[in-house]
Structure 1
Amino acid sequence: MKKNLFSVFLLFISVTVNSQRYNYYSNLELNKLTIEISSANSIGINHYTPGYSKNSDFELNTVNVGARYMFNPIIGLRADVGYMNLKNKNKSYSKDYEVQLPTFGVQGVVNASRLFNINESIGRFGLLLHAGLQISQIYSKTPDEMDKVNPTLVSRSHNTGRKENNIGIIYGISPQFRLTDKLALISDISYLNSFKQHFTWDGALSPESNNLSGKLVSYSIGLTYSLGYEVMHGDWDY
Structure 2
Amino acid sequence: MKKTITLCMLALSFCAFSQNKSDQYSLEAGYGASIPVGRFSDYSHYEFAFRYMIDESWGIKFDFGSDKFRKDNVPNYGSDYTRFSVQAVNNLARTLNLKNHSDTRFNLLAHAGLGYANIKSMRYPAKDNVGLIMLGITPQVRITDWVAFHLDATYIMNFSQDYDFNGERYSKETDPPSVGKLLNLSAGLTFYLGKNKGDADWR
Query: Taking structure 2 as the reference length, what is the TM-score of the superposition?
Result: 0.80
- Among 23, 48, 54, the alignment partner of 2:39 is 54
> What is the CA-CA distance between 1:88 and the residue it aligns to?
2.4
Query: 1:23-42 alignment to 2 at 5 Å?
Result: 28=21, 30-42=22-34
Structure 2 partner of 1:129: 110
The aligned counterpart of 1:186 is 150
Aligned to 1:223: 189
8 A Cα contact 1:39 1:60, kept in partner: no
Change (3 A) 1:60 1:233: farther
The equivalent residue for 1:17 is none
| Equivalent-residue separation in structure 1 for 2:43 and 2:120 (angstroms) | 19
- Are 2:93 and 1:100 aligned? no
Q: Structure 1: 5+ residue runs without aligned partners?
A: 1-23, 46-52, 143-159
Deviation at 1:42, TM superposition (A): 1.1
Q: Of the candidates 165, 168, 186, which is equivalent to residue 204 of structure 1?
A: 168
| Aligned pairs for 1:42-191 within 5 A | 42-44=34-36, 53-55=38-40, 61-89=44-72, 97-120=77-100, 123-142=104-123, 160-191=124-155
Distance 2:30 2:152 in 1: 9
Deviation at 1:163, TM superposition (A): 0.7
CA contact (8 A) 2:87 2:114 kept: yes
Q: Using the alignment, how far apart are the partners of 1:222 and 1:200 within structure 2?
A: 28
Moved more, 36-45 or 214-223: 36-45
Question: Which amino acid is 2:39 matched to?
Answer: K
Measured against aligned partners, the alpha-carbon deviations of 1:101-149 in whole angstroms (never above 9, x if no partner) come to 221011111110111122225521110111111211100113xxxxxxx
Counterparts of 2:119 and 2:156 in 1: how far apart (Å)?
14
Gaps of 5+ in 2: 1-16
For the residues of structure 1 that align with 2:162 and 2:196, how far apart are their CA atoms?
48
How many equivalent residue pairs?
184
| Percent of pairs with identical residues | 30
Question: Are the aligned partners of 2:43 and 2:70 in contact in 1 as well (CA < 8 Å)?
Answer: no
Contact 1:119–1:236 (8 Å) recurs in 2: no
Aligned-residue offset at 1:231? 4.6
For normalisation by structure 1, the TM-score amounts to: 0.69
Query: What is the SS of the residue equivalent to 1:86?
Result: strand
1:236 and 2:186 matched: no
